[in-house]
Chain A
Amino acid sequence: MAWTRKDLLTMRELDAAEILTLVDTAASLQEIASREIKKVPALRGKTIVNLFYESSTRTRTSFEIAGKWLSADVVNFSISGSSAAKGESFVDTARNIAAMSPDVVVVRHSSAGAATLLARELPCSVVNAGDGAHEHPTQALLDLLTIREKKGHFEGLGVAIVGDIAHSRVARSNIHGMRKLGMTVTVAGPPTLIPPFVQELGCKVAYRLEDAIRDVDVIMMLRLQNERMAGDLIPSLREYARYWGLSLDKLHAHARPDVVIMHPGPVNRGVELSPEVADGPYSVILDQVSRGVAVRMGVLLLLAGSKSAEAA
């Protein structure tokens, strides 16, 4: 199906066909990572600006690699040492960058809706690389690509998303994507970290790790987002690790033998995942990271590689 959007802002606004177009495009670009010369000329002469107002290793690096493998010029703009640190507003900074005629701006910001605001203000394509606790669509897409490679399909799969659901943009984007592709999603975590809206999104809720991970095909563990937490939502890290940390023992006792364990990173070892699980045979965490480059190549190509997207 043809891609017609100018921007990639949320998983919520995409339909199943658009999600599959993104996943399929990414899948066919994966082969480039195994080449001796990792470069194709598709986006030669295009400029991509990474506008990151929040720290990031994986996402920024993989957008940068993705752009470079497609032969685009990639410019990184980070908040420290920029005019934003001197008091310039978000939209003003973005307008100044847009005045230099980039083709795509990739934005990460701590406020929900930041990418949507930019997409309205700027004539170029905008990619949401994480906006507050709202959405992180490219992470959900790379998770979906990883799941399809491990399980062969989407329809009917069961997924447990465990941990700090309330502050997780990864959970939100994944829930939208997975539900549209016919997967069953169970979210689990301490009640203080389960937001009230999840049932409306068609999720089941579990308040014990053991209940959540039984009979699912995929377990996605999340980090506690301490930077977004206001007040005391959990009694202690030790208690959280004890009740919500995934250890090999719990995995063997309650989960299916063919389950795969995912984590969007960064992993807090010994809190949500024990090291044996993070590095063990069930873990596909590093597969997720390598798929991340392919997904971002696919997104950049579909947005910047066609005139119709700009005209739309």
Chain B
Amino acid sequence: MSSKPRPRLREKAQVLDDVALDRALTRIAHEILEKNAGSSGLAFVGLRTRGVTLAQRLAARIGRIDGATLPVGTLDITLYRDDLDMRGAPVIRGTDIPFSIKDKTVVLVDDVLFTGRTVRAALDALIDLGRPRMIQLAILVDRGHREVPIRPDFVGKNLPTSRRESVAVRLREHDGEDQVVIQEPEEA
């Protein structure tokens, strides 16, 4: 997520393949239902771009489990970043949450949890849209190195990494395949 000129990356290891990724999402879906005692009042909000896809998959999975159709929204947190003027010109792709989040239990979904600053910005962005009853955080990969006190409620995979590594989540809808890999700078 950093805008610093990045060195070329080489793939170090595969962390999740398509089967493991699918299993992790199924487990998260069940955990969400368990923690909230069902799906009533639930809504999903994904962080652009891959968080949205994961949110859609989680909502569909819960729909298959208990028959509910749950709303899914898209959040663009660019306007809430704390490093807006350290980056290049902002690219705004827009927030699209076509339902009221007031009094809902909103499950915020993102692919990778790292410093926590993106989620911090997402919480501000979400609360500006209304007052949800509760906000929970679902993450596919938690790679550690938090810089703010943020903790996920649902985690697909805890993955200890070093700061110089990066985690790439690839999803069928965007990248043609489902997998999570760790990458490291080539000249290391």
CB distance from A242 to the nearest CB of B (A): 46
Task: Assess whether B9 is interfacial by the CB under 8 Å rule.
Answer: no
User: Residue B10 at the A interface, CB < 8 A?
Assistant: no
CA distance A307 to B88 in the complex (A): 6
Is B185 positioned at the interface, with any CB of A under 8 Å from its CB?
A: no
CB <8 Å contact, B89 and A2: yes
Ordered by A's residue number, 7 sampled pairs between the chains whose C-beta atoms are within 8 Å are A3-B88, A27-B94, A36-B130, A42-B84, A301-B90, A306-B85, A307-B85
Bound-state Cα–Cα, A35 to B125, Å:
12
CB distance from B124 to the nearest CB of A (A): 7
User: Which residue of B is nearest A29, CB measured?
Assistant: B92
Residues of A within 8 A of B80 (CB): 40-42
Q: Which residues of B in the span 66-94 have a Cβ within 8 Å of any Cβ on A?
A: 76, 78-80, 84-94
Interface size on B, residues (CB 8 A): 22
Are the C-beta atoms of A31 and B89 separated by less than 8 Å? no
- Given the complex, which residues of B lie within 8 Å of A39, measured CB to CB? 128
Closest CB in chain B relative to A11 CB, distance in Å? 19
Check B86–A305 contact: CB distance below 8 A.
no
Evaluate contact between B130 and A305: CB separation under 8 angstroms: no
- Size category, A interface: 20 to 34
* Interface flags, B86-126, vs A, CB<8A=1, else 0: 11111111111000000000000000000000000000110
* B79 A40 Cβ-Cβ under 8 A: yes
Question: What residues of chain B lie closer than 8 Å to A37, measured between beta carbons?
Answer: 128-129
Q: Looking at the complex, which one of A3, A29, A35, A308 makes contact with B129 (CB distance below 8 Å)? A: A35
Task: From A28, A36, A70, A298, name the one whose CB has the most chain B CB atoms within 10 angstroms.
Answer: A28
What separation, in Å, do the CA atoms of A276 and B80 have in the docked complex? 44
In the docked arrangement, what's the CA distance between A311 and B163, Å? 29
A25 at the interface (CB under 8 A from B): yes
- Contacts known (A42-B84, A306-B85); A28 close to B93, Cβ less than 8 A: yes
